[in-house]
Amino acid sequence: MHDITPGIAQDEQVKGFVRRTPWLMQVLDAVRPQGWVSWCIGAGAVRCAVWEALHGRAAGALPPSSLGDIDVVYFDAREVEPDHWQSAQALARQQLQDRLPWARWEVVNQAAVHCWYRGATGQPVPPFVSLEQAVASWPEVATCVGVYLDARDELQLVAPLGLDDLLTLRVRYNSSDAGRVSAAVYAERMACKRWQCEWPGLKIESASQKQ
């Protein structure tokens, strides 16, 4: 296991892990030309890179086979009306696939997530007002972290719920937006993903545990 270095800020610890993860830097370089004002690589890609590093594993040119899609999220309210968001997401995904073919891309405009909920589940949810609010709604607190390259090609983080859980290998239900992701969905995710088989140092809490 890799210990957190004392005296170094949490954001710099995470940025250091990202810089030492070649496949994640390739992904960031591929997304940067899209020109989105507000975007990040989030969820599984960041979580996987940090947990791999904390388990003492050297990163390679390609991600571990346990990583599913590369989650690219951006915020552009201009695409929501008229119903342009699906075609815009599809075009962005194809552009990224052409640019970096080995990656399995998932591209979502967070400004249009409420449209997806309305169409797919019939569930009315309020629209997000920012990328940060969207990232803060993801199922686990440790998952609510994204990373992007700014205009100077410097790494920046989106971490509205902080970095404690990610860096201490703590996995717990994010109850701040239960209208989108219920405790039952969190429990299903934990049963399905079996993260402790891949990263045995994780401390996984049930949704009913006191936060």
Q: What is the pLDDT of residues 154-199, one digit of tens each?
A: 999 999 999 999 999 999 999 987 777 889 989 999 999 899 999 9
By C-alpha distance, which of 131, 134, 200 is closest to 171? 200
> What integer pLDDT is reported at residue 210 of this predicted model?
59
- The b-or-e profile of 124-158 (16+ CB within 10 A means b, else e) is ebeebeebbbbbbbbbbbbbbbbbbbeeeeebebb
> What integer pLDDT is reported at residue 95 of this predicted model?
97
| Alpha carbon distance 138, 47 (integer Å) | 12
The H or E element that residue 141 is part of is none
| Alpha carbon distance 45, 195 (integer Å) | 14
Q: What is the pLDDT of residues 131-164, one digit of tens each?
A: 999 999 999 999 999 999 999 999 999 999 999 9
Phi, psi (degrees; rounded to nearest 5) at 105: -85, 140
Residue 204: is its pLDDT beyond 60? Answer: yes
- CB atoms near residue 205 (< 10 Å): 17
> What integer pLDDT is reported at residue 147 of this predicted model?
98
- For residues 84 and 120, the answer to whether their CB atoms sit within 8 Å is no
Q: What is the pLDDT of residues 55-100, one digit of tens each?
A: 999 998 888 877 889 999 999 998 877 668 889 999 999 999 999 9
By C-alpha distance, which of 186, 179, 180, 192 is closest to 208? 186
- Complete DSSP assignment for 63-123: --TT---EEEEE--GGGTTTT-HHHHHHHHHHHHHHHSTTS-EEEEEGGGHHHHHHHHT--
Residue 119: is its pLDDT beyond 60? Answer: no
- For residues 145 and 157, the answer to whether their CB atoms sit within 8 Å is yes
pTM for the full predicted model: 0.90
- Give the residue, 116 or 191, on which the prediction is more confident: 191
- Measured CA to CA in angstroms, residue 170 lies from 59, 126, 128, 181, 198 at distances of 21, 29, 26, 19, 14
Residue 122: is its pLDDT beyond 70? Answer: no
